Chains A and B, each alone.
Chain A
């Protein structure tokens, strides 16, 4: 059972940081709506408030790790240019996608959207975390401030979902492969 270094980094970027962010974002939205949705809701414990602050800060770190690992580690492998006369485009995912009308849209629409819209995620969640750290439980009695923060978190979920969907589909059609091969386990030989 083997995996290439590039494939491993792609998994860390997408299934590690990215997917974890998506799950964490769902949890954050539930908690924010449950705790802060109305001033008539039950009281908020200081420990809950502290937990949510740390939770949103961790989400911000995850969002930054996702876009930075994607942009500066995985994307250069994705957009690598093959040498003249290359026999196979398997190691050049962008060129492989563009080589067929059946797959070119995954780059021209999917990757072109994903590589930019993903950056709205760390911007949005960093803002949400900072507002929450600054205002905390006061958000409960400031509905307009609270609804703005919640909307940004919802949009961050949407943007992360777009990036995650296209990332998965692009990697399905033209996987980022190459680099050192890591042996994870020995299979039973026949």
Chain B
């Protein structure tokens, strides 16, 4: 067998999945934060003006910067807590995907306008 081939994964089930789980859940939260900040900036005038980090781009600059900062912060915290642990990836996946789908739906203006 060539040395380049990897055919067996005897320890993979015991490989700590916490790092991957942290990245997945943080991404779901990040996606949701994009929608949450966008809705907040759209509905509340004070937040809209606070979100203008770069005037030519308007509130979009603050909305996306805050969402990305929040995502990275959550990722860092979760990664630190979970990186060497085995976590219940099924629950993490479900929560992350629900947040991701909410992120897609709530950025759609006709749905966001219902709130």
Contacts and interface: CB of A to CB of B under 8 A. Distances in A.
Contacts of A123: 27, 30-31, 34, 68, 71
Interface residues of B, number: 47
B40 to A, nearest CB: 12
A116 interface: yes
Nearest to B27: A127
A140 B34 contact: no
Interface in A161-186: none
B89 A119 contact: no
B34 A152 contact: no
B56 A76 contact: yes
Contact of B9 (A71, A112, A137, A147): A137
A148 B97 contact: yes
Contact of B64 (A43, A45, A71, A127): A71
A113 interface: yes
Majority SS at the chain B contact face? helix
Contacts of B24: 127, 131, 145, 148-149, 152
Given A137-B6, A142-B12, A71 B57 contact: yes
B51 interface: no
Contacts of B13: 141-142
A108 B112 CA distance: 12
Interface in A110-131: 112-113, 115-117, 119-120, 123-124, 126-127, 130-131
Contacts of A145: 17, 20-21, 24, 89, 93
A-side binding surface: helix, strand, loop or mixed?
A: helix
A135 B27 contact: no
Contact of A152 (B5, B54, B100): B100
Interface string B51-88: 00010111011011001100100000000000000000
A72 B43 CA distance: 23
Contacts of A155: 100-101, 104
A134 B21 CA distance: 11
6 contacts: A44-B6, A71-B61, A117-B103, A137-B9, A148-B89, A152-B27
Interface of A: 39, 43-47, 49, 67, 71-72, 75-76, 79, 108-109, 112-113, 115-117, 119-120, 123-124, 126-127, 130-131, 134-135, 137-138, 140-142, 144-145, 147-149, 151-152, 155, 158-159
Given A123-B27, A142-B12, A148-B89, 19 more contacts: A71-B57, A72-B57, A79-B56, A116-B35, A116-B63, A117-B104, A120-B103, A123-B30, A123-B31, A126-B27, A131-B19, A134-B20, A137-B6, A142-B13, A147-B93, A148-B24, A149-B24, A152-B96, A158-B104
